[in-house]
Amino acid sequence: MPKLKTRKAAAKRYKITGNDNFLRRHAFKGHLLMKKSNRQKRKLSQVVCVNVKDTHAIKLMLPY
């Protein structure tokens, strides 16, 4: 059986925690920041856990 390959795009976007949860960053923080409020930009800077429904697909992309 061949080795499983890691999806490099997913490896750059997600980080696994000790409890097999995945951390992700928020969208909408890349550009056009002048019109967004400081409160919105501060909340978008936080790291959050991925939804439980998406963890199975991410586990397939990150086998190791």
Chain segment 9-37, per-residue pLDDT in tens: 999 999 999 999 999 999 999 999 999 99
List the CATH code of the domain at 8-61.
4.10.410.60
pLDDT at 35: 97
pLDDT class for 6, splitting at 50, 70, 90?
very high
Rounded to 5 degrees, φ, ψ at 12 are -80, -20
State the Cα–Cα distance between residues 19 and 17, nearest whole angstrom.
5
Is a pLDDT exceeding 90 seen at residue 62? yes
Q: What is the overall mean pLDDT for the chain?
A: 96
Q: What are phi and psi of 46, to 5 degrees?
A: -75, 150
Query: Quick one: pLDDT at residue 1?
Result: 85
